[in-house]
Amino acid sequence: ADRLIEEYEARLKAEPKNLKVLRNVAELYAQKKDFDRSLEYYERMRAFDGGADAALERAIGETQLKRFDHLMGQLDPNAPDYPQQLAQLQSQAVGLMARLRDADITSVACACDPLTILYLTQLANQQGYDPEWLVVGVGFVDLDVVGQLVDNGSGGGQWERAFGGSP
């Protein structure tokens, strides 16, 4: 991936408005889990089209969700600054759910723990956002009892649109 990124970035020096190359670089950075760099390239694309490309908006929303999911997975509950990190991520989640809704993202997959899923479903409910939830089978989210807790805790039947498998 690094070699491809170098090639694409060299090409962008000659063709800075090449949206296909910008998208390729953004996708490669997302694969490397460098979501901030990925989002930078998507924002460069947005500057050229003025935010009118629905597919681009979906890609940005999906990348932000992957970033959020990755950051949640990196949290260490034993770290002294855990409460501050968690609060920061929760505030980012509010904007994330709004962006997913506004970009017409119809399916949300989060490989996270049940509390994060519960929080996201509550936010979706508060924002009138009703996506389908893809259960990826981690963090016990695929267990019936956990699904019932998420459904009851979301306050609006968000988990009625959940489906997926277990590993």
Three-class DSSP labels, 89-100? HHHHHHHHHHHH
**Percent of all residues in the chain with a pLDDT value above 90, rounded to a whole number:** 28
Residue range 19-56, pLDDT digits in tens = 999 999 999 999 999 999 999 999 999 888 776 787 88
d(C-alpha 7, C-alpha 9), whole Å: 6
pLDDT at 19: 92
Range name among 73-82, 114-123, 125-134, 157-166 with the lowest pLDDT average: 157-166
Sheet containing 162-164: order of strands: 107-109, 132-135, 162-164
pLDDT at 136: 78
The average confidence (pLDDT) of the chain is 85
Instruction: Count the neighbouring beta carbons within 10 Å of the beta carbon of residue 15.
Output: 11
- pLDDT bucket at 158, cuts 50 / 70 / 90: confident
Residue range 59-69, pLDDT digits in tens = 888 888 888 87
Given a cut of 60, is residue 167 above it in pLDDT? no
Predicted model pTM: 0.68
Range name among 43-57, 58-72, 93-107, 150-164 with the lowest pLDDT average: 150-164
